[in-house]
């Protein structure tokens, strides 16, 4: 489904942005930088929103991707923004997002010339 391709690309773009925003920050620097916290949380929110729109068929075909966890993270960011667990955000951007990029990249069709 063409819409899945678009949403998977949105996930990949946002995931790459999250990793870029993290850069070479340490946990301490991240913990003390509301700018980085908000930027990374927003990319995680975007990932979750796009994942929510991926078809059930695509999700079923790729159970290796933690769709429910991705969407749950988005819900926590959107609805509990004043009580975010920064350590969970940090763990997501340092561990989960790179793994997500590796899982999503093969699913995104290459650019057409």
Hey, which residues are catalytic here? 74, 79
Contacts of 67 by beta carbon, 8 Å cutoff, 6+ apart: 51, 54, 59
Termini Cα distance of the chain: 21
d(CA 108, CA 85): 31
Contacts of 110 by beta carbon, 8 Å cutoff, 6+ apart: none
């Amino acid at each position: 489904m063409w819409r899945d391709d678009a949403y998977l690309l949105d996930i990949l773009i946002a995931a790459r942005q999250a990793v870029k925003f993290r850069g070479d920050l340490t946990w301490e620097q991240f913990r003390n930088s509301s700018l980085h916290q908000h930027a990374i949380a927003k990319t995680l929110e975007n990932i979750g929103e796009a994942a929510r729109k991926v078809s059930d068929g695509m999700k079923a075909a790729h159970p290796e991707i933690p769709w429910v966890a991705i969407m749950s993270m988005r819900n926590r960011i959107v609805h509990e923004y004043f009580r975010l667990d920064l350590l969970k955000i940090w763990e997501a951007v340092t561990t989960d997002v790179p793994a997500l990029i590796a899982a999503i990249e093969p699913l995104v069709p290459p650019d057409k010339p």
